[in-house]
Amino acid sequence: MSTDPYSGVLNPLVLESAQRFEHILARAIARLTSLEKWMIVLGVSLATGIELGTQVAVNVILVDMKGNVAASQDQISWVIIVYSAAFFSVLPLTDWFARRLSHRKYIVASLLLYATGAFGCFLSHSLWELLVARAIMGLGGGAFLVRGLITLYRFYDPQHRRMALLTFALFVTSSRALMPVLFGIVTDLGTWNLAFLVLVPLAMIAAAFLYASLPRGIEFDAGPPNVDSFGTVCLVTGLIAFQVVMSRGEQDMWFQSGLISFMAIICILSLAVFVWWDTHPANSNPLLNLRVLLADSALATGIGVAAILGALLAAGLYLLPLFLRQIQGYSATQTSWFFCVDGFSTLLGIIAAVKLMQRLTPRGVVLAGLSANVAANVLFVFTLTPDTPALNLCAILVLHGFSLGMLLPGVTNVLVGHAHFRYIAFAMTIYYTFRQLGGAIGVAATVALLDIRETLHSGRLLDTANRLNPIVGDVVRHLGFRLHAQGLPSNVAHEGAFRLFQLMVAKQTALLTFIDVFWGLALLGLVGIVLVLIFARSGMTKTVPVSGISQHY
């Protein structure tokens, strides 16, 4: 009787391929030199670093991009939506593409595609050109993080994997910290297009490293798997429709819009059919291999935590630059320096998590990270003002980045850290798909909450102003006298005073709105803590033992 817990869950053809792949990979690893292994680490680290760093950087300069392509604020938001939709649609397909093209060819092709999209952004002078280029970048960038981590988990045994993962974390977090600074400086001194040009040689260098060092002939399947057209169409259609609903729902009044209603129906039907087909026992070529969840209790019970981590990451990435630029009035360069603090604090959190996992369980590290994240968001609530000192913001960002640094390796270790590398690609792809799903929901909920609470606070402040009309009138008159004393005509001074008062109300409304959203993020962190505690006894820390010649991996 087989001791493989996946036996009877996955299709027999997949199990057979997994056993064959284990032997092939073991021989390939034995032939790799130390230099080749480090070239692999540097290649996947550079690829992932530029993608994640650019995601942050584009959020920082989004306000500046709309002028060059003659777009409104609503239209320029499609720069994020299109990239996210392309990224999200390709993410669950990465394992299938790697099996079809080979791991080496796929990751190199993805880098070349990403470089092409970045060069297209550099050449863009209209909105539609920019959107096409961003879609190409998303199709390439969706592979980097998941395939990079799969590479490190496959090619390094646990004894040496820690150093490889720390090097990976150093590159990724440094890029997340420095890439926004680069984009901000280039945007303020020149144009945002030039910043995208820098990505092209970096992607080409990563592609050259991986092309030269990744072994050939380590395909999972004996031959390229058949194209699952039905499953692919259902999955991609469902994910794109989901991304459009999440990204455009608030702007288009949700289900009052015919487009949003149509996309929601398409999303539900497409994803429901895909889940049925992907888990069907007769499907010998599943795209996501969701049946893995039946054998891996840690992954199955932890996908909710993965979604919460994705929501915390994406919502913070969207919310912080918006606050710094709209409320605090910082430029792109100044805003990027705050993200630099947050990024390097994330690296410190990752190092601390690795050290703590030698004493605590990964679940304990996740609980500590979530607690620190809740504390950071609560500190934002009680510290934010229209002119909060930069030093105070940096202190909170240190804690915020540190908490994310603890969560990233902690959650990954809890969910996929004990999966055998026969099936690590399946587990990793499922984990990151649900994390991206949580990210899309987190941004959509943030946008909706900002709009709802802004309307509420605006009404309350205007109602208060009406009830305090004599006092408000005195304030406006005092402002008018001050402006008139500066040499303005009395009628201009009075109108200017009224506009200043309106701006003060608008700014206070926006501030209260941001505070409410930070309360929401704190509450989300508390939900994550509860989920970790609940699922602790139902499999989140259980391993999935698999016998085999390379069990020591």
Range 160-167 average pLDDT: 82
Q: How far apart are CA 102 and CA 87, in angstroms?
A: 20
Q: How far apart are CA 245 and CA 234, in angstroms?
A: 16
pLDDT value of position 1: 43
Range 221-249 average pLDDT: 77
DSSP state of 390: H
CB proximity list for 326: less than 8 A, separation 6 or greater: 510
By mean pLDDT, which of 325-329, 433-437, 546-550 is the weakest?
546-550
pLDDT at 149 over 80: yes
pLDDT value of position 477: 61
pLDDT at 211 over 60: yes
pLDDT value of position 118: 93
| Cα atoms in the 13 Å half-sphere on the side-chain side of 355 | 7
CB proximity list for 522: less than 8 A, separation 6 or greater: 374, 377, 378, 381
| H-only helix segments in 296-423 | 297-326, 332-356, 362-383, 390-416
Burial of 67 (0-12, 13-18, 19+ CB in 10 A): exposed
pLDDT at 234 over 70: yes
pLDDT value of position 180: 86
Range 90-119 average pLDDT: 89
pLDDT value of position 549: 32
pLDDT value of position 93: 85
pLDDT value of position 536: 65
pLDDT at 463 over 70: no
pLDDT value of position 372: 94
pLDDT value of position 461: 57
Buried b (16+ CB within 10 A) or exposed e, 194-232: ebbebbbebbebbbebbbebbbeebbbbeeebeebeebb
Nearest to 297 by CA among 541, 550, 546: 541
Mean pLDDT of the chain: 80
CATH topology of domain 288-553: Growth Hormone; Chain: A; (1.20.1250)
Place of tokens 């998590």: 353
The DSSP line for 277-308 is HHT-TT-SS-SS-TTHHHH-HHHHHHHHHHHH
pLDDT value of position 133: 92
Contact 62, 80 (CB under 8 A): yes
What's 12-227's CATH class? Answer: mainly alpha
Percent of the chain with pLDDT strictly greater than 90: 18
Q: How far apart are CA 324 and CA 321, in angstroms?
A: 5
Residue pLDDT, tens place only, 339-372 = 888 888 998 998 888 888 878 788 889 999 999 9
Percent of the chain with pLDDT strictly greater than 70: 81
Residue pLDDT, tens place only, 257-289 = 888 888 889 989 998 998 898 888 777 777 777
